[in-house]
Amino acid sequence: MSFAFPTFIESMAAFWTLLVDGRMFVAYVETLKPLVVGVLISASLGIGIGLAIGLSRKFDWLVSPIFVVMQTAPLAALIPLLVMVYGIGLTSKVFVVCIMAMPVIVLNTSGAVRNTPASIIEMGQSFLGTRLDVILKIILPAASPIIFAGLRLGVSAGFIGAILSELKITPTGVGDIITYSRSIADYPSMYAAIFSIILLAVIFLNVLERIEEYLFKGSRQTYVSE
């Protein structure tokens, strides 16, 4: 076996060491800052913009291309530009997280909103629902399963963005453990850090799924029409 591929046991031992000596916690305090801020911005702004795109053709025409570009742009190549404009601090890292997380949230939300069955919208109108009633009580609940699917994808992308920003901008937090361990050939610690981020992402996605189940117990069912 190559020196660069430690055994699973070695990596887990390094993981334990990082936990016990507290380095992991210190690192996550740093890493979670851009991650949490970025994911919160992406989720709230993303759902809002996605809703507007789904409701208005004009807004769709105006704004959609931005997110298609964001989704397809080679992010690693753009990071130096971001750093030139926003420096090496938190702002740039939040941007990286948002660029990773937001497009999929926006595009899923707008698609789901646009695909709300026409008849339940007509139903809302014919029973005298206002525009706001129709959006809050019909369109959003109807779109929520796909919006949540977008959130899950967006959050996973946000995790990648957070680590990418720490590797590419300034080595802090978990990115620092990865970079530093690699530079001193402490590969077990490097893999332990990578493992920790995967573990955190899986736990977070599970929590998100629980929230979704709690909020929309009935809406997982398909539409009832022949």
Partner 1 sequence: MNDKTSDIENAVSVHNVYKNYGDVEALRDLSLDFPRGQLTSLLGPSGCGKTTLLKIIAGLLRANSGEITVNGQPVAGPGPDRAFVFQDFALLPWANVIRNVAFGLELRGVDRSEREAIAEKYIGDVGLKGFEKSYPHELSGGMRQRVGLARALSVDSQVLLMDEPFSAVDEQTRRKFQEDLLKLVKNESKTFIFVTHSIEEAVYVSDQVAILLPRPSRVSEIIRPEGFRHKDANSIRRDPEYLDIVDRIWASLRTYVE
Q: Which residues of the chain form contacts with partner 1 (CB under 8 A)?
A: 117, 119-120, 122-130, 133, 137-138, 141-142, 216-219, 221-226
Q: How many residues does the chain have?
A: 226
| Pick from 155, 151, 159: nearest CA to 28 | 159
CB of 223 to partner 1, least distance (A): 6
Residue 65's identity, in one-letter code, is P
Cβ neighbours of 5 (radius 10 Å): 10
> Which phi-psi region, left, alpha or beta, contains residue 205 (left: φ > 0; alpha: ψ -120 to 50)?
alpha
Least gap, CB of 143 to partner 1 (angstroms) = 11
Q: Which is nearer to partner 1, 58 or 217 (CB)?
A: 217
Output 7 or 119, the one with its CB closest to partner 1: 119
Minimum distance, C-beta of residue 125 to partner 1, in the bound complex (Å): 6
- Residue closer to partner 1 by CB (options 106, 142) is 142
Question: Which residue reads 């361990």 in tokens?
Answer: 181
Q: How far is the CB of 90 from partner 1 (least distance, A)?
A: 39
**Which residue matches tokens 């937090």?**
173
H helix count then E strand count, the chain: 10, 0
Based on CB atoms, which residue is closest to partner 1, 123 or 185? 123
| CA distance linking residue 135 with residue 52, whole number of Å | 11
CB of 116 to partner 1, least distance (A): 11
Residue 54 vs 124, nearer CB to partner 1: 124
Token code pair at residue 168: 């590419």
Give the angle subtended at the CA of 157 by the CAs of 48 and 164, to the nearest 5°. Answer: 125
